[in-house]
């Protein structure tokens, strides 16, 4: 466990209570999550390790307020989000939550620095301060020399590091990463993961990182998996 994390004393930054989610499949129903409970504490990095189809992405989308559960509660920063309307949920995602996906999803017509600046300006920061913070993040990711390049001019690892910088630009409480190194070769994957973990530690973020890579997951504070729709702690 990371220094400074005292579970049971500090309030969790994220709490899932009794989450259930099913999808229609033809004439039937496919259950994905069943009474899933989970708490993530300040500064904690948790690895989510489960096979494809187990519900990792669904869990992250519900925890990050991109989807609504059928039943259950999502609590972020002590605030219950279940009854909030779409506008309020969007506002929380903009300031409290960061996402990194397997594919970078950078805006192709914008440079690296512009991709990091845009979400900050949407959140209300002026361009000068957003650019200063964006350059600081790109520098931390060792990308300051690539700031004026378009995504098409960057390598796969560089694009993913820009996406990581963008995901934390608005200083969220919690970061969700869904197979963030899944499209990269092993060497680049380790480099990007190291950069992600270093940035999370430096900013004091809490994070849930879904990965198939057990070696990477073993370097996190905790590991969880999904078994028959329930969240289970791994040794």
Look up the CATH number of the domain holding residue 123.
3.40.50.300
pLDDT in tens, 165-188: 898 888 888 999 888 777 777 777
Could you tell me if residue 217 is inside a domain? yes
In the structure, what pLDDT confidence band is assigned to residue 9 with cuts at 50, 70 and 90?
low
Q: Give how many domains the chain has, as a whole number.
A: 1
pLDDT at res. 20: 94
Q: Is residue 189 part of a domain?
A: yes
Q: Is residue 155 part of a domain?
A: yes
Provide the strand spans (E) within 81-164: 97-100
For residue 157, give every residue at least 6 positions away whose Cβ sits within 8 Å of its Cβ, in sequence order, or none: 184, 188, 191, 192
Q: What is the mean pLDDT of residues 215-223?
A: 86
Contact 168, 176 (CB under 8 A): no
Structural domain includes residue 7? no
**Is 9 contained in some domain?**
no
CA distance 46 to 231: 12
pLDDT at 224 over 70: yes
2 is a domain residue: no
β-pairing, 71-76 vs 14-25, is antiparallel
pLDDT tens, residue by residue, 22-63: 998 878 888 899 999 999 998 899 999 987 778 888 999 999
Q: Which domain holds residue 19?
A: 14-233
| Tens-digit pLDDT profile for residues 103-156 | 778 999 999 999 999 989 988 889 999 999 999 999 888 899 999 999 999 998
Quote the crossing angle between the two packed helices 186-203 and 127-140, to the nearest 10°.
130
Which residue is associated with the tokens 């300040």? Answer: 42
Q: 1 in a domain, yes or no? A: no
Distance CA 59, CA 25 (A): 18
Residue 116 located in a structural domain: yes
């Amino acid at each position: 466990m990371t220094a400074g994390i005292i579970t049971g004393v500090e309030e969790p930054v994220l709490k899932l209570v009794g989450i259930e989610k099913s999808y229609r499949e033809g004439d039937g129903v496919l259950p994905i999550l069943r009474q899933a409970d989970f708490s993530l504490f300040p500064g904690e990095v948790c690895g989510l390790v489960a096979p494809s189809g187990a519900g990792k992405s669904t869990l992250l989308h519900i925890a990050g307020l991109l989807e609504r559960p059928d039943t259950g509660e999502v609590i972020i920063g002590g605030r219950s989000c279940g009854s909030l309307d779409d506008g309020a949920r969007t506002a929380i995602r903009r300031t409290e939550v960061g996402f990194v996906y397997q594919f970078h999803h950078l805006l192709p017509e914008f440079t690296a620095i512009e991709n990091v600046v845009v979400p900050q300006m949407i959140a209300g920061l002026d361009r000068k301060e957003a650019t200063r913070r964006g350059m600081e993040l790109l520098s931390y990711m060792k990308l300051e020399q690539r700031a004026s390049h378009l995504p098409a001019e960057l390598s796969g690892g560089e694009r993913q590091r820009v996406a990581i910088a963008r995901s934390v630009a608005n200083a969220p409480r919690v970061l969700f990463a869904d197979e963030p190194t899944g499209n990269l070769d092993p060497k680049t994957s380790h480099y990007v993961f190291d950069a992600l973990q270093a940035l999370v530690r430096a900013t004091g973020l809490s994070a849930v990182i879904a990965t198939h890579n057990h070696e990477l997951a073993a370097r996190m504070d905790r590991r969880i998996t999904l078994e028959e729709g329930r969240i289970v702690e791994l040794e």
